[in-house]
Amino acid sequence: MSKDRSARRLPVVFSIVVALMLSMVPLPDVIDPYRPDWVALTLIYWAMTLPRSYSVGTAWVVGIVLDIAHGTLLGQYALAMCFMIYVTAKFHLQLRVFPLSQMTATVFALLSLYQFLLFWINGVAGLHTEAVSYWGPVLTGTALWPLLSTIFGGIRYRVRASS
């Protein structure tokens, strides 16, 4: 792999690693149900902007890492993340031209789909959790999307400009 390609991949890999770390940081019990799903938001952005490089395969690997880190059913996060990223990558051309408000609404729908799949998998497995632990991350992730997309857009612009 050339230095140019590895220099372009480094910020994406770094952002995914930071998102994984943020998803594992312990929070107080009051705030924890509202923790944004950093990994899903990060993968949505990169699958929307670079779908040929970061798509379903990346979502599967990161999902398995997330399953292991959280100690959940193996494949639970991976399956839900793959489905969500598949939809994102499938419609990436339409999503990229949306204005920020419409993209935020689309991210709300994608995060809702992701949390519904997790809810369904837990229901099939017989695991019960509170509804706020499913819908809290959807609300906080949607609220943070405009800020995250601006930050990631700046990172992507700087990487392009430097190479």
Helix segments in the chain, DSSP class H? 3-24, 38-49, 56-70, 76-90, 92-96, 100-125, 132-162
Each of the 163 residues of the chain gets a pLDDT tens digit; together they read 566 677 778 899 999 999 999 999 999 999 999 999 999 999 999 999 999 989 999 999 999 999 999 998 899 999 999 999 999 999 999 998 999 999 999 999 999 999 999 999 999 999 888 888 889 999 999 999 999 999 999 988 877 766 6
- Note the pLDDT of residue 100: 93
- Note the pLDDT of residue 83: 96
Picking from 117, 136, 8, 127, the residue whose alpha carbon sits closest to that of residue 63 is 117
Distance CA 26, CA 15 (A): 19
- Note the pLDDT of residue 2: 61
Distance CA 42, CA 71 (A): 21
CA distances from 132 to 34, 114, 129, 136, 139 (A): 8, 15, 9, 5, 10
Distance CA 73, CA 42 (A): 22
What structural domains and CATH numbers belong to the chain?
Answer: 3-162 (1.10.1760)
Distance CA 122, CA 112 (A): 15
- Note the pLDDT of residue 163: 60
H/E stretch holding 127: none
- Note the pLDDT of residue 155: 87
Distance CA 153, CA 100 (A): 12
